[in-house]
Amino acid sequence: MPGRREMGRFRATRALVALVAAVACLGGVAYAATRPDHGRPQGKGGGNPARGRGQQPPRPSLIEVPPAIAVGGGWQFRFHVVPRPQPQGQAPPAQPAPAPDRWRQFQCRLDGGEWRSCSSPRLLGALSPSDHSFAVRALNRRGLPGPAAHYRWSQLEPKEFTIDPQTDSLEELMPGAPPQQLPVRIGNPNPVPIEVTGLTVSVAPEAAGCAGDSNFAVTPAGLGPAAPLAVPAGGSAELPTATVTAPALALRELPVDQNACQGTSVRLEFSGEARG
């Protein structure tokens, strides 16, 4: 996604380097609040059709749901029927009954649509930003349904996070000197936390004859799925931290004439990935 850009400048011995930061795109964020509504009426034909025509199936239990306010996709519902407890004072059977095989059939519906056969887990496809509802019910051996379990949540459209370079404290770039980290501040406008799992920068010198790949060395931030940067909801976080490095830039020392890079400006475009 495109994003807001900020400028940062620092002086080099042979070049004045201008930093321009582009905004990275939020890979996928999600959040939701659970509002189970076990007492909701079934609507037309949803009362108690199993009563009097075989044992009524219990209401399923929801064991995994989307967050109450969700951003992005990849959510699923997991559900099952909890076996009925053994009455107090009654000795358990010599051979305990297996899991309630009779409740292996379920029906689900999304947003008040048609009831359809389903199983756990029930994966959700892409959903439009809106309020959504999900219901699931078990069927007895005659195919008659029992009471349904309900869940409602809100799906929001994810917002891009921003990357602002903080380059005022950088020292002069010297050919062959160690790479300098490029401090950045990452802003999260979403109402849920995110984890930034990758942050890189590309170099594009504006002077003819000063090739970025051969004259400048860029190191990505020390981020990854196993070492993300947490950014709170509606807040920001900065790199580098005590344990995670920021992207770094160095001016190579080459055995050729590098005068073309003297006094030039270099455009740095940041990009990254996040999860939430």
> Which of 276, 38, 78 lies closest to 160, judged by CA?
276
Residue type, 35: R
Query: Tens-digit pLDDT profile for the chain (276 aa)?
Result: 333 333 332 223 222 333 333 333 343 333 333 444 444 444 444 444 444 455 889 999 999 999 998 887 788 999 999 876 666 666 655 555 444 455 679 999 999 999 999 999 999 988 899 999 999 999 998 899 999 999 999 998 888 999 999 877 778 777 888 999 999 999 999 888 889 999 988 888 877 888 888 888 999 999 999 999 999 999 999 999 999 999 999 888 888 887 888 777 788 889 999 987
Q: Write down the residue that tokens 């002086």 correspond to.
A: 11
Element (H, E) at 130: strand 130-138
Q: Quick one: how many helices (H) and strands (E) in the chain?
A: 1, 19
CA distances (Å), origin 211, targets 67, 139, 258, 273: 48, 68, 10, 27
